[in-house]
Amino acid sequence: MPAPLLPDATDLAHSVAAGHVSPTELLDAALAATARLNPDLNAIVLVQEGAARAHIAAGLPQGPFRGVPFLLKDLGCEAVDFPSHNGSNLLANTKYSKDSSIFSRIRATGVVTFGRTTAPEGGIGPATESAVYSGPTRNPWNLSHTPGGSSGGAGAAVAAGIVPFAHGSDGGGSVRIPASSCGLFGFKPTRARLPDGPYAGEGWAGMAIDGFLTRSVRDTAVMLDACQGADLGAPYAAPPLRCSHADAISRPPKRMRVMLCDTTFTGDAIHPDCADAVHKAAQLLQSLGHDVTPGLPRANVAAMMRAWTDIVAIGTALSITKSLKSRTLSPDLVEGVGRGAMAHAQTLSPLRYLEAVNEIHAFGREMASVFEGTGAPDIILSATLAEPPAEIGRFNHTPEDYVDYRIGPGRVFAYSPFCAVFNASGQPAASVPLGWSKAGLPIGIHLAARFGADEDLIALCAELERSQPWGHHHPPIWAGF
């Protein structure tokens, strides 16, 4: 018999509501697990125990996750009580004068936030190895491998059982990559489904969005329902949901047409363990009555990735320039990839930003057309990553050739060729923890749907979870949540 399913955040909230455990007891357990495991993982920073205990003492909101320990990514999700390094020595110990909209909505769910989780400088890359944390963040399944990035600390903390779920963000796969690497569920909503303000109008030309690393689909669904919707003054909003995410997962989805991609979207081979996991997921979907057909989306992925690379370089250069103030750009303040991004941005025409944004929008229309017409798919199925989790050091931020780091042979885009496609198109996408490498490392299965069809996608993810539960899987260092 398989091991029993482990409690998720919803289970813990029910235990608090029933009086079986108190918010203080759960916080104590999370802090004890942090003390025991974080020296090996290097996943949690800027612990604010006093703020967490003060929130409990003041009376937690009566939300769906009242009393459950929670962590914020050390990038974005600005909060008065939670300073941030933003993954960089340049921005170490940044304090905020007001809470971001996303944090206000997270806090209203009743969670007990007590710290932040590590992120690479600038949120760039599929690994979390920032100099400001004095060492890499490690994967609890195998400490010589990365938990992914840029929400790598969140993935490691949840996979290790320090917290049952955590905040993340995703501008090119930064929720889905750590979900895949750590054996978790990660969901990127449709563009603008979650608020960006007041600190940003949009992230990376609308390609970046907040999200969550969870052990269960239902935890993500409930948190998305609590946080979704444009905030005051948002430049645009996602299409309205037909029903809540929680309602969507409460019933089986419609039978869907699924496009099976066992290569990259440009036809290149992926690691055999990843391809095998994709085929097994396809067989599972077929057994559930879905129509699975091999195919490749017709869209100019290479041009999109070059535009994505330029937009992120320009955004990085803007952030660095604003933060330097009177200081000189130097390796002790900004790592190699960040300096390289700034240098690349300075080679671009002043017209390039809008040109690149237009190319991203054109690509979004190409991807939208893939889901339209007679016989078009409802879902695109692929691996989340082209390989199992990389070893520590492969994607560190030492290199100063930013363009090569992103799109050079064997570099980031070759390793993660699927995720950024749907940041560019704005379509919802998810990584579901269905696969395992021969070495025992998690392999995520990637599912993407048409723009605005978040309910259909999350319902399908829930059906897969019911059919092949993953909640009993945990690494040997599991802390208990």
Structural domain spans, the chain: 9-467
Report the C-alpha gap between 477 and 292 in whole angstroms: 38
Catalytic position from the list 84, 100, 150, 181: 150
Euclidean distance between CA atoms 481 and 15, whole angstroms: 12
CA distance 205 to 216: 30
| pLDDT value of residue 5 | 82
Closest CA to 23 of 48, 55, 64: 55
Say whether 467 is catalytic.
no
Amino acid identity for residue 145 in this structure: H
Tell which residue, 250, 222, 211, 179, has the closest CA to residue 75: 211
Q: What is the pLDDT of residue 2?
A: 54
Residue 474 makes CB contacts below 8 A (sequence gap 6+) with: 6, 159, 161
Both structure tokens of 374: 């007679």
- Taking residue 396's Cβ as centre, other Cβ atoms within 10 Å add up to 20
Q: Would you write out the chain's pLDDT as a tens digit for each of its 481 residues? A: 456 788 999 999 999 999 999 999 999 999 999 999 999 999 999 999 999 999 999 999 999 999 999 999 999 999 999 999 999 999 999 999 999 999 999 999 999 999 999 999 999 999 999 999 999 999 999 999 999 999 999 999 999 999 999 999 999 999 999 999 999 999 999 999 999 999 999 999 999 999 999 999 999 999 999 999 999 999 999 999 999 999 999 999 999 999 999 999 999 999 999 999 999 999 999 999 999 999 999 999 999 999 999 999 999 999 999 999 989 999 999 999 999 999 999 999 999 999 999 999 999 999 999 999 999 999 999 999 999 999 999 999 999 999 999 999 999 999 999 999 999 999 999 999 999 999 999 999 999 999 999 999 999 999 999 999 999 999 999 988 6
Taking alpha carbons only, the member of 450, 470, 458 closest to residue 430 is 458
Burial of 4 (0-12, 13-18, 19+ CB in 10 A): exposed
- Of 84, 169, 174, 437, which is the active-site residue? 174
Token pair belonging to 24: 């203080």
In sequence order, the β-bridge partners of residue 142 are 139
- What CATH class does 9-467 carry? alpha beta
The rounded distance, in Å, linking the Cα atoms of 79 and 98 is 6
Residue that is written with structure tokens 């004068």 in the block: 97
Q: Count other Cβ atoms within 10 Å, centred on residue 66.
A: 17
- Residue 150 burial (CB < 10 Å; 0-12/13-18/19+)? buried
- For residue 322 the two structure tokens come to 């604003």
pLDDT value of position 349: 96
Could you give the residue ranges of the DSSP H alpha helices within 160-255?
176-182, 217-227, 245-248
Beta strands in 107-164 (DSSP E): 112-117
Q: What ranges make up the beta strands (E) of 261-326?
A: 291-294
In contact, 386 and 270? CB cutoff 8 Å: yes
Q: Tokens standing for 26?
A: 């759960």
Helix (H, G, I), strand (E, B) or coil at 291: strand
Helix residue ranges, H only, 42-183 = 49-58, 101-108, 152-159, 176-182
Report pLDDT for 265. Answer: 98
Residues 137, 147: Cα–Cα separation, whole Å: 7
Choice among 73, 169, 188, 382 that is catalytic: 73
Q: How far apart are CA 267 and CA 262, in angstroms?
A: 9
Q: Which residues pair with 382 in a beta bridge?
A: 446
Where is 403: in which H helix or E strand? helix 402-407
Query: 354 by DSSP, 3-state: which?
Result: helix
- Looking at residue 1, its pLDDT comes to 43
Tokens of 397: 């931020």
Distance (Å) of CA 269 to CA 240, 272, 385:
38, 8, 12
Q: Known catalytic residue: 150?
A: yes
Alpha carbon of residue 270 to chain centroid: 21
What's the length of the chain?
A: 481
Long-range contacts at 232-235 (CB < 8 A, ≥ 24 apart): 232/101, 232/197, 232/198, 233/197, 233/198, 234/192, 234/195, 234/196, 234/197, 234/201, 235/201, 235/202
- Count of alpha carbons within 13 Å of 191, Cβ hemisphere only? 25
Give the Cα separation of 437 and 415 in Å (integer): 15
Going by C-alpha positions, the residue among 144, 152, 146, 145 that lies closest to residue 170 is: 152
What single-letter amino acid sits at 220?
T
Distance spanning both ends of the chain, measured CA to CA: 21
Query: Is residue 73 flagged as an active site residue?
Result: yes
What's the pLDDT score for residue 4? 72
